[in-house]
Structure 1
Amino acid sequence: MRQREVDDNQAELAPEDAATRQQQAEEAAWIAQAIAGDQGAFAQLVERYSSMVYTHAYYRLSSVQDAEDAVQEIFQRAYLRLDTFDTARRFRSWLLTITSNYCTDVQRGWGALKRRLTERVPLEDVDYWLSDTQADPQRSVLQNERYDAVREAVLQLPDKYRHVITLFYWNDLSYREIVEVTGLPESTVKTHLKRARERLAQLLQAVASEDDDGQTDRGDTHHELFTTES
């Protein structure tokens, strides 16, 4: 998870760079090959995006097992729908739309989601999706002892807030892309994100205040991640 500047211009108007264009071209080739029956090409897409799908599903479903099941189901759905993919879109946004819809379907079938929001999941159980954070120092927060406080705080948010904050911070989507994935109006996305940050700041400040070991900088560090002016 990276600390991001939430200024509208930076979030929405960042230019598409050469690396992004190259990635899209590469993925378009993989998709065409997969549609033609090349399973190895689809495996490349799975390898690239399984971590992203797992992360999003985990924060929507609040369960390691459900998130692992979601990864399998979501990629199966994506494979079956590849021929409907519009290459003018980013594949990651399209895949996150499938992920979002799947998680919503699962939640509708539960009827008891709130009981799972406080489920404590051992950090080692999510090593699967944390393994790619080592190369990015800004995301090292996910690999130290402070991650647990952030994870627990995020899981306490209502789903509508947890959804957008996961897309924005973990999946690095712009406002426009979040609108595309969720189908929400942009004004609603911004409101949900603002309220999610405010609530997380409160929760993490409480963690810092309750720390009896004198390590209040741990909570304060995370408090700063979610108090950026919008």
Structure 2
Amino acid sequence: MEPGRRTITTEELLEMLVDEYSERVKRLAYTYVKSWQAAEDITQEVFISCYKNLDSFRIESSYKTWLFKITVNKSKDYLKSKWYKSIAPFDFNWSLFSGMKASPEDEVIEKNDEYILSEKVLRLPAKYREVIILYYYEDLNIREISELSNINLDTVKTRLRRAKSLLRKMYEGVELDGE
């Protein structure tokens, strides 16, 4: 260690991770469970798990990718649990994903477009919804998505391509037939 530099504690690192990623973790969890309350619970579980395993974290991936992987796994566990109930995604708000301001007229148009897009993304089958959210809204690259989801790189590419195709069909008014 260099003179004058102190080692960061586990608690300090956790606090930094919570500050930087808690909102993104909650939004990611929401895209799976479609309930803000459940997403908040999952967020807490993610950071508890993070704290318990921080000492064993290997620098093979970034903290962001690691936290997202925990989030995806906790969200999928929640969906498999006997307590899970289907909730319609009417309170979804894509504006949480951007920080840009527009004119009031543009905001109304944008909110309507965001609502329509979010509704369509959330209607995608989970395997396609996952790659769209991670790629476009969480800015992960295809390799990171592959590592995070334990899915072959080519499969991620295929799912992303199919997801975009399904979204195009939805915009054209074609309904999905249980895919």
SS at match of 1:144: helix
In the alignment, structure 1 residue 205 sits paired with structure 2 residue 177: no
Q: How well do the aligned residues superpose, as a CA RMSD in angstroms?
A: 2.9
1:122 lines up with 2:87 in the alignment: no
Gaps in structure 2 of 5+ consecutive residues? 175-179
Whether 2:46 is the aligned partner of 1:79: answer no
More helix by share: 1
Q: What CA deviation, in whole Å up to 9, does each residue of 1:205-228 have, x standing for no partner?
A: 339xxxxxxxxxxxxxxxxxxxxx
For residue 145 of structure 1, give the secondary structure of its aligned residue in structure 2: helix
Find the counterpart in structure 2 of residue 58 from structure 1: 30
Matched residue, 2:177: none
Whether the 8 Å contact between 2:78 and 2:84 is mirrored in structure 1 is no
What residue in structure 1 maps to residue 81 of structure 2?
109
- The one-letter code of the counterpart of 2:128 is Y
Q: Choose from 125, 128, 133 the match for 1:166.
A: 133
Q: CA deviation at 1:110?
A: 4.5
**Cα distance in structure 1, aligned partners of 2:134 and 2:158:** 14
**Cα distance in 2 between the residues matched to 1:177 and 1:92:** 10
Task: Report how far residue 146 of structure 1 moved.
Answer: 1.4
Quote the Cα distance in structure 1 between the aligned partners of 2:147 and 2:161. 18
Partners of 1:57 and 1:168 lie apart in 2 by 15
Q: How big is the shift at 1:79?
A: 1.2
Deviation at 1:120, TM superposition (A): 3.5
The total of aligned residue pairs comes to 165
Q: Tell me the residue number matched to 2:117.
A: 150
State whether residues 34 and 89 of structure 2, in contact with CA within 8 Å, keep that contact through their aligned partners in structure 1. no
Provide the C-alpha distance between the structure 2 equivalents of 1:104 and 1:136, rounded to a whole number of angstroms.
Answer: 34
How far apart in 1 are the matches of 2:171 and 2:91?
19
Unpaired stretches in structure 1, ≥5 consecutive residues: 1-28, 208-230
Structure 1 Cα separation of the partners of residues 44 and 84 of structure 2: 23
1:137-177 Cα shifts (integer Å, max 9, x gaps) = 8xx89x62211111110111111111111111111111110
Counterparts of 1:112 and 1:69, CA distance in 2:
13
Residue matched to 2:162:
195
Amino acid at match of 2:8: Q
> What TM-score results when the alignment is normalised by the length of structure 1?
0.63
TM-score between both structures, scaled by the size of structure 2: 0.79
Matched, 1:134 2:106: no
CA distance in 1, matches of 2:120, 2:126: 12
What amino acid maps onto 2:79 in structure 1?
Answer: Q
Amino acid at match of 1:85: F
Partners of 1:34 and 1:53 in 2: CA distance? 22
